[in-house]
Structure 1
Amino acid sequence: MLLRRRHLMATAAGAALALPAMRTGHAQTALRFSLDWALQGNHGMWALAEDRGIYRRENLAVRMDRGFGSGDAIVKVGSGAYDLGFADLSGAVKFNAENPQNRLVMIYPVFDRTAAALMTLAGRNINKPQDVAGRSLGAPEGEGSRMLFPAFARVAGINTSGIRWTSMAANLRDTMLRTGQVDAVTGFLFTVHFNLVGLGIPEDQILGWPYAENGLDIYGSGVFARASWLERNGETASRFVKASIDGLKLLLNDVPGGMAALKKREPLFDEALEARRFAMTRDRSILTPNSRAHGLGHVDMARVQQLIQVNAEALGVANPPKAEEFFTDRYLPAKSERMV
């Protein structure tokens, strides 16, 4: 009996050591987190972080809310309405120049390559990016790809003088393209592509030119915060980034589980379509040669400088932020924890 008891105690101790390390003695830190859009496949990394105890492990209580474009998320975090956001931070080059007291900082670039793209349909006589000269383009006001379009046009050689922009609510963009109310749109490649699929457009009729694959290879969306908030909450920021990366690893290894987690949060969520959307996101924006070589969230200041420069030139920003003030790797876990 004594030997058996000792064996059980040893087994229990071993099992305890095998569990993920839990932070103890601290109350959960409440965080307000704004997404860039309505729930999509890549957002499953945060749904899984909550459902599978990663936030709890990091003593975090995260409220995740949908967004209405990258510009919307930038304003929400910049104003202090949210602690953290997920968005394409290109628009923050101008925001930071105009709002130095609310300066935003990218702390984890989830998308190593921007997903911004110019999109149209076959039959519109637009067969290359330069063909949108003099045509009508549509996108929501403040949407990240629209804000980045002048920089893309500059490197792609698009004459923008005759382009006519139409603004619309985010949920109407793809319908307006389908019905011919605009000739082309800007948006994230995986967002517009699969929204059009959902509207019944055959995939071979959807044409798209990702900015990153047509001359503007810059960082895309990621987790960001106000510099002033980071000064007071640096350790919390590190825990959230760690939880995000661990959530992404879960999603990469269990896409159906991630889609099911999002379905719990949005009953109308299309799991099959969103799994395909995530696959495109993963292959075009997340698992790039750079992130495979250097780890998820790797920060290359030369690429940050390029992002700043093209936006500053296109948007007429005379006092753009310095690269080291705009992106930082301070809150990333060790490289070994970021490898995939």
Structure 2
Amino acid sequence: MLNRRTLMAAAAGTTLALPAIRTAQAQSAVRFTLDWALQGNHGMWALAEDRGIFRREQLAVRMDRGFGSGDALVKVGSGAYDIGFADFSGAVKFNAENPNSRLVMLYPVFDRTAAAIVTMRGRGIEKPQDVAGKSLGAPEGEGSRLLFPAFAKVAGIDTSRVRWTSMAANLRDTMLRTGQVDAVTGFLFTVHFNLVGLGIPEDNILSWPYAEHGLDLYGSGVFVRAEWLERNQEVAARFVKASIEGLKLLLNDIPGGMAALKRREPLFDEALEARRFAMTRDRSIITPNSRANGMGYLDMARAQQLVQVNAEALGVANPPSADSMFTDRYLPPKSERMF
């Protein structure tokens, strides 16, 4: 028979073990907003969920479509969402105006911004400088339009001769197609494949990405609110780790990633989005810098350039410091971030 001391020891052992069991099973709820409707690159998070990476990292992620990078910044800054994915250029002005809701980039998924000038053959534009004297279209406040003055400066474009036309984002590609504007600014892979979807042959589409023509800035990435991060550092690190593993899965299984997105959106065009992701991969994700240093590598000089360029473009007199907006503290080791 067990004596009283043995029973007490067994009970104590059981009591000590229970918290560890509960911790292992606990799932941290994360509200995650994308930058736009589902596109190919978002497959990295769909795969992270479908293949159990989020679950392994003890994350219960609710992923919602977005309505533009600016909207995503505001939603995370307000606390409506915990984590966002968006072009981070707009955070320079947001942080300057909302220091108590400061946003922090944890993982720049796009090592190069996807902002670009896009036109079609026959519009008299054969190089970036040719947009002078032409009509250029983009929604007001859209990131590529806000960055255009900085790009024009390095590319030698006479901005005084550019005529801007504003429109809703969903009309931009149609207005270019129908000749209501001569060229547009926007994300390269968004505008390019939207034009393809409108029936424009790819060899009729001309584009000049800012990052490949002198303005090499970071693009979209995973970001959070600083106040949330202070309370959820382990959750943030686990989400970044899962995101990188999801991207590796997507790079190795693009059809699988497109199928995962199709399960979430029945109207999702798997063939078109696979091609869109391939362009995103080759122009914004896999770059000489990320090949050498791994996914999410942070070069603070480039981060500072993003802050400076956006502050000048947006007239921000008191821009935040780069180290208040970017951190690599939550990235996994380099060995886990290599392609």
> For residue 260 of structure 1, what is the aligned residue in structure 2?
259
Alignment of structure 1 residues 98-247 onto 2, 5 Å: 98-247=97-246
Instruction: Say which SS state the counterpart of residue 106 (structure 1) adopts.
Output: strand
Shift of 1:24: 5.1
Matched letter for residue 121 of structure 2: A
CA offsets, 1:225-280, max 9 Å, x none?
Answer: 11111111111110110110000000011000000001111111111111111111
Higher mean alpha-carbon deviation, 156-165 vs 31-40, is at 156-165
Q: TM-score, normalised by structure 2?
A: 0.91
Shift of 1:33: 1.1
Identity %: 84
Conservation of the 8 A alpha-carbon contact between 1:72 and 1:142: no
> For residue 92 of structure 1, what is the aligned residue in structure 2?
91
Q: In structure 2, how many angstroms separate the alpha carbons of the residues matched to 1:298 and 1:313? A: 25
Conservation of the 8 A alpha-carbon contact between 2:218 and 2:302: yes
CA offsets, 1:255-311, max 9 Å, x none?
Answer: 000000011111111111111111111111111111111110000001111111111
Matched, 1:54 2:78: no
Shift of 1:27: 2.1
Q: TM-score, normalised by structure 1?
A: 0.90
> For residue 33 of structure 2, what is the aligned residue in structure 1?
34
Matched letter for residue 289 of structure 1: P
> For residue 327 of structure 1, what is the aligned residue in structure 2?
326
Conservation of the 8 A alpha-carbon contact between 2:146 and 2:313: no
- The CA RMSD measured in Å over matched residues stands at 1.5
Conservation of the 8 A alpha-carbon contact between 1:91 and 1:148: no
Conservation of the 8 A alpha-carbon contact between 1:230 and 1:237: yes
Conservation of the 8 A alpha-carbon contact between 1:117 and 1:187: yes
Conservation of the 8 A alpha-carbon contact between 2:85 and 2:223: yes
Shift of 1:26: 4.4
Matched letter for residue 268 of structure 2: F
Shift of 1:167: 2.9
Q: In structure 2, how many angstroms separate the alpha carbons of the residues matched to 1:85 and 1:116? A: 19
Matched letter for residue 31 of structure 2: R
> For residue 10 of structure 1, what is the aligned residue in structure 2?
none
Length, aligned pairs only: 319
Q: In structure 1, how many angstroms separate the alpha carbons of the residues matched to 2:288 and 2:45? A: 24
Higher mean alpha-carbon deviation, 140-149 vs 249-258, is at 140-149
Shift of 1:140: 2.7
Higher mean alpha-carbon deviation, 284-293 vs 314-323, is at 314-323
Q: Which runs of 5+ in 2 are unaligned?
A: 1-20
Conservation of the 8 A alpha-carbon contact between 1:68 and 1:170: no
Matched letter for residue 45 of structure 1: M
Instruction: Say which SS state the counterpart of residue 177 (structure 1) adopts.
Output: helix
Matched letter for residue 326 of structure 1: M
Shift of 1:23: 9.8
> For residue 317 of structure 2, what is the aligned residue in structure 1?
318
- Closer, same or farther: CA 332–23 of 1 in aligned 2, 3 Å: farther
Q: In structure 2, how many angstroms separate the alpha carbons of the residues matched to 1:165 and 1:91? A: 20
Shift of 1:161: 2.6
Please identify the structure whose Cα radius of gyration is greater.
Answer: 2
